[in-house]
Structure 1
Amino acid sequence: MSSFLKKNMSGKSDFILINENKGLTRLIRKKLEKKELQIMSQEQINMTNPIIWDGNSQISGDEIILKENVKENRLDSLIVTNNGFIVERDTLGVDNYNQIKGIRILGKFLNGKIKSLMVDQNAEIIYHMYNDNNEIIGIDKAVSSSILMIMAENGIDKIRFITEPEGMLYPEDYLEENEKFLEGFVNRENEKIKKKLDLFN
């Protein structure tokens, strides 16, 4: 297992390939055998997927590509090529998680931090909604062809559906516990690399 730590971003995967001339960093999972894919659940597969953490956001998928602006030596964009999954702990609730997943994720950086994330193709979302008094309104469950997220210092700031979504805002108590999670959800906070010493554990 390889890992890295850059300012507020860290990540890990089976292999990390770096091309400094092109400014590319690829986080790659070892290839799963056909038999493994048949018996493993989506949660088990996601536990082995490459993953990065940026602030409060956890981003994973079959492969993650980070692109740098070589001339200016700064992060420019990221691509999750398949099975993209974003998890963010809901800071106002207890053990609540905002989740977005789709086939592909495209991200843009600003000043070294993720500024926007586009979840593309078969996008699904579970998001906890609050009023101005930080009282929960309900849980938004929706699907759309694409979902754009604008990020702020503490995580997701705005959500825009590129096409008309299909979904509903549910009262929190209306949903069973398992209905509050998208298929394939895994919380990998305990793996997060927070300091240089973690790179050697």
Structure 2
Amino acid sequence: MKKRNPQRSKAHNHSLDPIEKVHELMQAVHSAEASFEIWRLLTFKNTTIDPSPHVRAFGAYSHFFMPSVHAHWIAVVMSIYRLFDSGPGAVSLVSSNDLRQKLDPAQNRMFRQRLGSILNVANRVAALRNHLFGHRGDITAQAAFDEAKLKRDELRNLIDTSRELAEMLRSAWNLSPDIWPRNDAVADTIRLLDHLSP
């Protein structure tokens, strides 16, 4: 039997133009926001919403919701990682020199300051991603979470600040605010839980 070689992806010459890059950043922010809000709701950490009917739905469909909680947490981590990836060719907030050319000097200073204010948390998210999902380092899942010491308020601030930075770039490139995806994650999740409540 002939041994099959792994299929290699074809190199493509298409590189994103600045407008596409801004759009990609906005999509990553939206993914982080929506996944974070669903995760908060499914872990009963959204204190503005009465959890009692949702606890019943969660209990009735626990074999669905437990992996769903995990999946949304992974989506938060991966979206944040993408927003702060400093690797070569990355489309991210930290690799946005070409996109920031449209900002005036004062806006550029503000962008750098706001970015600098959240890099510590972003780096802890990246370390968690590398340990858990990049299989880097000889460490247990619990130890990786403990080491990251991530707090919900820190993540919320990180995501909110990422939105501010992406919004600065959107505005600088004169893109319509309507290109921001709608975030109906909380309303849709509540509606789902209400329908599922026994």
The normalised TM-score by structure 2 is 0.24
- Which structure shows the bigger proportion of residues in helix conformation? 2
TM-score, with structure 1 as normaliser: 0.24
Q: Which structure is richer in relative contact order (CA contacts within 8 A, separation 6 or more)?
A: 2
